[in-house]
Structure 1
Amino acid sequence: MVIGATGQIGHPVVGALARDGWEVTAASRGGGREETWPDGVRTVRLDREDDAALAAVVGDGCDLVVDVVAHGARHARQLTSLAGRVGSAVVISSVSVYEDGEGRGFDTQGEPGGFPEYPVPIPETQATVAPGESTYSTRKAALEQELLAAGDRLPATLLRAGAVYGPRCRTPRELYFVKRNLDGRGRRVLAYGGRSRFHPVSVHTLAELVRLAAARPGSRVLNACDDAAPTVAEIAAAIDAVMGVQPETVLVDGPPPAPSVGDTPWSVPAPVVCDTSAARRELGHAPVAGYAEGLPETVEWIERRLAGRDWREAYPDMVRAYGDLFDYAAEDAWLGTR
């Protein structure tokens, strides 16, 4: 059973498992079916917060539960309560659980000097934030803690995902460059010299990791990222190549020179790059595609969603997460001072 089956991650996960021979039940709030799924995929409506409904879908039991939307201790306990009827689980977590040697993490990055300085690359043994219910990161840490503690009853693989990209994303970082190119912006600004690295992961890489973990049940955490972590300048160039444009890039050494200028969703003062060797070692994982190879379908999806719509209507979650990403007046004002 895949919980969150019709979302950005769930959609390719269902397809990968079904093509691998699993009898898949795709559970989602709407209970919809995707036309790209193989025949035989069963669909059900499921409210993730309804304990009784989840137990009813599991029924007498299933070999595997894949949960792509779980967060917090309560969701973990939901899963462990089914231990007697579920063979194993694969659950999506996040690299945001990590903290550095000074106790800084994603939750402190907005504070002065609060951005974490992680080792490069970050191993799964790196310290994590204290579990709790106050933030996304602490809830993911609580999810991990509860599931790992119940590993003798329910083997669970926790996949710590990086910056997820692919179709169906509600907060696609690629929007930053795609919309600028569609708007004919001839110049763009990149802070930190365009060298920022925030390790991405394709939805297809995640689906492949789920498929491999499903065949090798265990209680563990694994970084789930692409094989390489491109710089933000390399990401911009790759998107340009897909869209057939060549705008000028203005590089700024250091932080954004003015509010909203050069501050992309990948722009970080220190690298966030994960060690992926454990997944290769434990699951036999090999890269399914690089960042550039996964971009065309992502760009196409964003272009279709933007067609004839205000970007804030098309991507309201992006507004809530990042604010105004397209303050062209501020950019032009700063560029005019150079």
Structure 2
Amino acid sequence: MVIGATGQIGRPAVRALARDGWEVTAASRGGGRDGTWPEGVRAVRLDREDDAALAAVVGDGCDLVVDVVAYGERHARRLTSLAGRIGSAVVVSSVSVYEDGEGRGFDTQAEPDGFPVYPVPIPETQRTVAPGGATYSTGKAALERELLAAGDRLPATLLRAGAVHGPHCRTPRELYFVKRNLDGRRRRFLAYGGESRFHPVSVHTLAELIRLAAARPGSRVLNACDDEAPTVAEIGAAIDAVMGVETETVLLDGAPAGPVGDTPWSVPAPVVCDMSAARRELGYRPVVRYAETLPETVGWIERRLAGRDWREAYPRMWEVYGDLFDYAAEDAWADGRA
């Protein structure tokens, strides 16, 4: 059973599990199907917040539950309450649970000197934020704690995902470059010298990790990122190559100047994760390179933007990042530097 089956992670996960021979029930709020799924996949409606409905879909039991939308202590406890009917679980968490040696994490990044300075790469043994319910990071930490504590009853692999990319994403970071190219903006600005690295993970990488963990039940946490962690400048150049455009990149030495140079990847210190545990415990090997995934990602964004205001096409992006396309501010900054 895959919970959140019609989301960006769920779609390829269902496909990968079905290809491996699993009988898959694809559960989602709308109960829809993806056109790439085999006919044998069973699609059902499920509200993740409805505990009784979840228990009903699990029914007398299933060998595996993959939960890509679980968050917080309550969701974890609902899964563990069904431990007698679930063989094992694979649950998506986030690299945002990590904090550095000074107690800084994703929740402190807006504070002065608040961005975490992690080891490169970050191992799964790195300390994490205290579990709670106040933020996304603390909620994911609470999810992890509850599931790991119940490992003797319900083996659960927790996948700490990086910056997810691929089709069907509600907040595609690639939008930053795609829309600029579509708008004919041939000059862009990148803070921190364009060297920011925020480890991405393809939906195909996640599907592969889910597939492998399904076949090797255990109670564990694993980083879930691509093999590469390109810089923001490298990402922009790769998107340009897919779209067939040439651009000029203006590099800012330090932090963004207001909105100028600020991208969804712009961080003052690298966030790069160690994938050796997944290789060791699951036999994971990279299945795709970042640049290889871009044509489908860029194509998806272009189709969704066609004839629409970007804030209408991606309202969650607007909510999370604000105005990523303040061209007037960019031009004014450039004029002031000329």
Same fold, TM-score > 0.5, yes or no: yes
Tell me the equivalent position of 1:294.
293
Partner Cα separation in structure 2 for residue 186 and residue 38 of structure 1: 43
Which residue pairs with 1:145 in the alignment? Answer: 145
CA distance in structure 2 between the aligned counterparts of 1:241 and 1:37, rounded to whole angstroms: 30
Alignment length (residue pairs): 337
Q: Give the CA deviation at 1:186.
A: 1.4
Match of 1:114 in 2: 114
The CA deviation at 1:322 is: 0.3
Q: Which amino acid aligns with 1:247?
A: T
Aligned to 2:267: 268
Q: For residue 229 of structure 1, what is the aligned residue in structure 2?
A: 229
Tell me what 2:163 maps to: 163
Q: Measure how far apart 1:5 and its partner are.
A: 0.2
Q: What is aligned with 1:48?
A: 48
Corresponding residue SS for 1:336: helix
Q: Report what 2:59 is aligned to.
A: 59
Q: Distance in 1 between matches of 2:45 and 2:189?
A: 45
The CA RMSD over aligned residues, in Å, is 0.4
- Secondary structure of the 2:131 match is coil
- Mapping of residues 5-44 of structure 1, within 5 Å: 5-44=5-44
> How far has the Cα of 1:114 moved from its partner?
0.2
Letter in 2 for 1:337: G
1:232-311 correspondence runs (5 A): 232-256=232-256, 258-311=257-310
Report the Cα distance in structure 2 between the residues aligned to 1:335 and 1:173, rounded to whole angstroms: 24
Structure 2 runs not aligned, ≥5 long: none
Q: Which amino acid aligns with 1:271?
A: P
Question: Is the partner of 1:23 in helix, strand or coil?
Answer: coil
Deviations 1:133-186 (A, max 9, x none): 000000000000000000000000000000000000000000000000000001
Instruction: Give 1:73 shift.
Output: 0.2
The code of the aligned residue for 1:266 comes to W
The superposition leaves residues 294-335 of structure 1 with CA deviations (integer Å, 9 ceiling, x where unpaired) of 111000000000000000000000011000000000000001
> Structure 2 CA distance, aligned partners of 1:182 and 1:241?
13
Normalization by structure 1: what TM-score?
A: 0.99
Runs of 4+ in 1 over 3 A off after TM superposition: none
| Distance in 1 (alpha carbons) for counterparts of 2:34 and 2:109 | 38
C-alpha displacement of 1:259? 1.1
Q: Tell me, in whole angstroms, the C-alpha distance in 1 between the residues paired with 2:34 and 2:158.
A: 26
Q: What is the aligned-residue identity percentage?
A: 86
Distance in structure 2 (CA, Å) of the matches to 1:335 and 1:61? 62
* Counterpart-to-counterpart distance in 2, 1:141 and 1:226: 22
For residue 24 of structure 1, report the CA deviation from its aligned partner.
Answer: 0.0
Scaled by the length of structure 2, the TM-score of the pair is 0.99
Q: How far apart are the structure 2 equivalents of 1:259 and 1:312?
A: 20
The residue aligned with 2:83 is: 83
